[in-house]
Amino acid sequence: MSKTTFIATSIVAAGLFLAAGTPAQQTPAPNSPSTPPAAAKPATAAKSGTAKTAAPLALTTPKQKASYAIGMNIGKNLKRDSVDIDPAVLSRGLKDALAGGKLLLTDDEAKAALTALQMEVRMKEEAKTKAVAVENKKTGDAFLAANKTKEGVVTLPSGLQYKIITAGTGPKPTADDTVLCHYRGTLVDNTEFDSSYKRKEPLKIPVGGVIKGWTEAIQLMPVGSKWQLFIPSDLAYGERGAPGSPIGPNSTLIFEVELISIEPKAAAKEQPKEAPKEAPKEQPQAAPQPKP
């Protein structure tokens, strides 16, 4: 659920949040924790210290626990998104609506207020994402500029860099092949976002159905090779990043890739059209799904 959609549904229909385990949407992290983007200012009401001074409340019945859970869920999500609301007025609106009496806003006025709030939150989020993207691009470019001078690192015209750890002697795959690989992926600050080694199982990956940096590099690797790849953001997930993962917008990625084998054509055709969820899939802007 998007943040703007959440605002409307959480305030107007709090009951939607009875469903347990709904994960909070994560803002993509920047590449380097040493220079994080400025955090959004917390809501004014959050500074009031109400939670610290409130009298103890014993929740002894299922109704009390459910009621508190709804309020807690709404509050946590509003705080997470730095939505500037007045808790006292929010509580009043909830009480008035539940009482069934006269409301202070008409439905049209309430809709207009929520629309304005959605726009405000969207603009703040876009500005925050843009700041993260700028910082990630700066960090990634600096890393690649320094990395290309290191011993053994080869820089290709596309900007892709690689270093051979183990030289294989087998055939090289084409873009139409499916390969069996082990890999580990990190950001430039060594934050790991995926590892087939930890799962103790290599993955079958369509060479032409992953991020551009992988597609280019894999076709250069003989079977049996183990390379370290340094992938610029425009050959990885670009300005969009990979929502829900540590891969933020404009993130430069580092992969250690071990090319184990090329799948026989018949076996490759039996594989699902989509790459495994754990694989470094390309996520086009229009449709965040892996290529067939």
In this prediction, residue 201 carries a pLDDT of: 95
- The 10s digit of each residue's pLDDT in 18-60 is 333 333 333 333 343 333 333 333 334 444 444 556 778 899 9
Using DSSP's 3-state secondary structure scheme, residue 46 falls into helix
In the chain, what are the domains?
3-131 (1.10.287), 153-269 (3.10.50.40)
In this prediction, residue 84 carries a pLDDT of: 87
Q: How far apart are CA 99 and CA 56, in angstroms?
A: 25
pTM recorded for the entire structure: 0.66
- The 10s digit of each residue's pLDDT in 211-228 is 999 999 999 999 999 999
Confidence band for 119, pLDDT divided at 50, 70 and 90: very high
In this prediction, residue 259 carries a pLDDT of: 98
Q: Over the range 1-17, which residues count as b (16 or more CB within 10 Å of their CB) and which as e?
A: eebbebbebbbeebeeb
In this prediction, residue 53 carries a pLDDT of: 62
Task: Tell me the average pLDDT across 258-279.
Answer: 67
Phi-psi region of 171 (alpha: psi -120 to 50; beta: other; left: phi over 0): beta
In this prediction, residue 288 carries a pLDDT of: 34
Q: Is the pLDDT of residue 271 over 60?
A: no
Q: What ranges in the chain are assigned the alpha helix state H?
A: 3-12, 50-53, 62-80, 87-99, 107-147, 196-199, 212-218, 265-269
Task: Tell me the average pLDDT across 237-250.
Answer: 93
Q: How far apart are CA 211 and CA 150, in angstroms?
A: 25
Beta-bridge partner residues of 179: 205, 262
Whole-number average pLDDT of the chain: 80
Least trusted range by pLDDT, from 14-18, 44-48, 73-77: 14-18
